[in-house]
Structure 1
Amino acid sequence: MSKVVSPEFAASLVKDGMTIGVGGFVGFGAPEELLIALQERYKETKSPKGLTIFHCAGLGDGAERGINHLAEEGLAKKIICGHIGLEPKISKLLVENKMIGFCLPQGVTSQILRATAGKKPGVLTHVGLNTFADPRVEGCKVNQAAINSGEEVVSLVKIEGKDYLLYKSVPLDICFIKGTLGDEDGNISLQKEALISDQLEMAAATHNSGGIVIAQVENVVKKGTIKAHDVKIHGFLVDYIVKGKPENSYQGFADNYYRPELSGEITIPLSAMEPMELGNRKICGRRGALELKKGSLVNLGIGVPEAVAAVAGEEGISGDITLSIESGVLGGVPTGGLAIGGTVNPEAIIKQPDIFDIYDGGGLDVSFLGAAEIDEKGNVNVSKFGGRVVGPGGFINISQNAKKVCFTGTFTAGKLETKIEDSKLTIVKEGNGIKFKKSVEQITFSADYANESGQEIYYITERAVFKLTDKGVKLIEIAPGVDLQKDILANMEFKPLIAEDLKLMDERIFKNEKMRLSF
Structure 2
Amino acid sequence: MSKVVDVSRALDIIKDSDVIAVSGFNMATTPEYLLLKLYERYRETGHPRDLFIVTDSLPAARGRGLDLIAEYMFKDNDFSFIKGFMMTFLGVAPWLQRLAIENRVEAYSFPIGVATRWFRSIASSTPAITKVGLGTFLDPRQDGIYLNDLARERRTCRVELVSINGDEYLLYDCPKPRIGLIRGSTADEFGNLTMSEEAIYGSVLAITQAVKAQPNPGVVIAQVLYASRFVNTRDVHVPGPLIDYVVTSPPEYHTQSASIKYDPSVCGRVVISNACLPNDDKANFEITIARRVVLEFVKLVERLGRPIAINLGIGIPALAARIIKSEGVDDYIVTTVESGPWGGIALSDDDFGVAISPKAILPMPDQFIMYEGGIIDAASLGFMQVGPSGNVNPSFLPEKVTGPGGFPVIAYGSPRLYFAGAFTAGKREIDIIDGRLAIIKDGTIIKFVKKPYKVGFNAELGLKMGKEVMYITERAVFRLTSEGLVLEEYAPGVDIERDILAKMEFKPVISRHLQPMDDIVFRDEPMGLLEIVEKAIKR
- Which of the numbers 323, 332, 337 marks the counterpart of 1:320? 332
Question: Which SS does the other structure have where 1:41 is aligned?
Answer: helix
**CA offsets per residue over residues 207-264 of structure 1, 9 Å max, x none?**
1141110000001111xx2011011101100000110012111222122x31010111
Distance in 2 (alpha carbons) for counterparts of 1:278 and 1:61: 25
Distance in 2 (alpha carbons) for counterparts of 1:379 and 1:414: 21
Amino acid at match of 1:419: D
> For residue 348 of structure 2, what is the aligned residue in structure 1?
336
- Structure-2 change in CA distance of 1:109 and 1:273 (3 Å): closer
- Structure-2 change in CA distance of 1:157 and 1:18 (3 Å): same
CA contact (8 A) 2:160 2:172 kept: yes
> For residue 254 of structure 1, what is the aligned residue in structure 2?
259
> For residue 293 of structure 2, what is the aligned residue in structure 1?
288
Distance in 2 (alpha carbons) for counterparts of 1:76 and 1:160: 40
- Structure-2 change in CA distance of 1:192 and 1:378 (3 Å): same
Question: Which SS does the other structure have where 2:296 is aligned?
Answer: coil
CA contact (8 A) 1:21 1:174 kept: yes
Superposition pairs of residues 494-505 of structure 1, within 5 angstroms? 494-505=506-517
Distance in 1 (alpha carbons) for counterparts of 2:37 and 2:483: 55
Distance in 2 (alpha carbons) for counterparts of 1:448 and 1:473: 12
Question: Which SS does the other structure have where 2:274 is aligned?
Answer: coil
> For residue 111 of structure 1, what is the aligned residue in structure 2?
117
> For residue 303 of structure 1, what is the aligned residue in structure 2?
315
> For residue 266 of structure 1, what is the aligned residue in structure 2?
270
Question: Which SS does the other structure have where 1:24 is aligned?
Answer: coil
Once the two structures are overlaid, the 10-residue window that deviates more, 479-488 or 375-384, is 375-384
> For residue 418 of structure 1, what is the aligned residue in structure 2?
430
- The answer to whether 1:86 aligns with 2:92 is yes
> For residue 33 of structure 1, what is the aligned residue in structure 2?
33
Report the TM-score, using the length of structure 1 for normalisation: 0.95
Distance in 2 (alpha carbons) for counterparts of 1:157 and 1:402: 23
- The answer to whether 1:235 aligns with 2:240 is yes
- Structure-2 change in CA distance of 1:269 and 1:177 (3 Å): same
- Structure-2 change in CA distance of 1:274 and 1:447 (3 Å): closer
> For residue 228 of structure 2, what is the aligned residue in structure 1?
221
- Structure-2 change in CA distance of 1:70 and 1:232 (3 Å): farther
- Which of the numbers 119, 126, 135 marks the counterpart of 1:130? 135
- Which of the numbers 367, 388, 400 marks the counterpart of 2:400? 388
Question: Which SS does the other structure have where 1:318 is aligned?
Answer: coil
**CA offsets per residue over residues 365-419 of structure 1, 9 Å max, x none?**
1111111111222111124212432111110000111011111111112322112
Question: Which SS does the other structure have where 1:262 is aligned?
Answer: coil
**CA offsets per residue over residues 44-84 of structure 1, 9 Å max, x none?**
22222211110111232123434542563111122112112
Question: Which SS does the other structure have where 1:384 is aligned?
Answer: coil
Amino acid at match of 1:216: Q
Amino acid at match of 2:94: P
- Structure-2 change in CA distance of 1:68 and 1:487 (3 Å): same
Once the two structures are overlaid, the 10-residue window that deviates more, 134-143 or 258-267, is 134-143
- The answer to whether 1:17 aligns with 2:21 is no
Question: Which SS does the other structure have where 2:265 is aligned?
Answer: helix
Distance in 1 (alpha carbons) for counterparts of 2:458 and 2:232: 47
- The answer to whether 1:433 aligns with 2:464 is no
Q: Which runs of 5+ in 2 are unaligned?
A: 74-78, 302-306, 534-539
Distance in 2 (alpha carbons) for counterparts of 1:507 and 1:110: 43
Distance in 2 (alpha carbons) for counterparts of 1:273 and 1:248: 26
**CA offsets per residue over residues 109-140 of structure 1, 9 Å max, x none?**
011111111122x2111111111111111121
- Structure-2 change in CA distance of 1:278 and 1:16 (3 Å): closer
Amino acid at match of 1:2: S
CA contact (8 A) 2:277 2:345 kept: no
Shift in Å, 1:453: 0.8
Distance in 2 (alpha carbons) for counterparts of 1:219 and 1:124: 38
Distance in 2 (alpha carbons) for counterparts of 1:274 and 1:226: 35
Report the TM-score, using the length of structure 2 for normalisation: 0.92
> For residue 186 of structure 2, what is the aligned residue in structure 1?
181
CA contact (8 A) 2:257 2:354 kept: no
Sequence identity, in percent?
37
CA contact (8 A) 2:341 2:354 kept: yes
CA contact (8 A) 1:380 1:446 kept: yes
CA contact (8 A) 2:156 2:174 kept: no
Question: Which SS does the other structure have where 1:494 is aligned?
Answer: coil
Amino acid at match of 2:116: S
CA contact (8 A) 2:428 2:442 kept: yes
Shift in Å, 1:278: 7.6
What is the RMSD computed on CA atoms of the aligned residues?
1.8
Distance in 1 (alpha carbons) for counterparts of 2:292 and 2:31: 40
CA contact (8 A) 1:116 1:170 kept: no
Distance in 2 (alpha carbons) for counterparts of 1:342 and 1:486: 42
CA contact (8 A) 2:24 2:60 kept: no
> For residue 194 of structure 1, what is the aligned residue in structure 2?
199
Distance in 2 (alpha carbons) for counterparts of 1:435 and 1:167: 31
CA contact (8 A) 1:58 1:393 kept: no
- Structure-2 change in CA distance of 1:329 and 1:442 (3 Å): same
Distance in 2 (alpha carbons) for counterparts of 1:191 and 1:432: 49
Question: Which SS does the other structure have where 1:290 is aligned?
Answer: helix
- Structure-2 change in CA distance of 1:240 and 1:70 (3 Å): farther
- Which of the numbers 207, 211, 222 marks the counterpart of 1:206? 211
Distance in 2 (alpha carbons) for counterparts of 1:386 and 1:400: 24
Shift in Å, 1:303: 1.5
- Which of the numbers 158, 161, 165 marks the counterpart of 1:153? 158
- Structure-2 change in CA distance of 1:474 and 1:39 (3 Å): same
CA contact (8 A) 1:35 1:67 kept: no
- The answer to whether 1:467 aligns with 2:468 is no
- The answer to whether 1:44 aligns with 2:56 is no
> For residue 69 of structure 1, what is the aligned residue in structure 2?
69
Distance in 2 (alpha carbons) for counterparts of 1:266 and 1:79: 37
Question: Which SS does the other structure have where 2:9 is aligned?
Answer: helix
Distance in 2 (alpha carbons) for counterparts of 1:199 and 1:429: 48
Question: Which SS does the other structure have where 2:494 is aligned?
Answer: coil
Amino acid at match of 2:335: L
- Structure-2 change in CA distance of 1:339 and 1:326 (3 Å): same
Q: Which runs of 5+ in 1 are unaligned?
A: none
Shift in Å, 1:7: 2.1
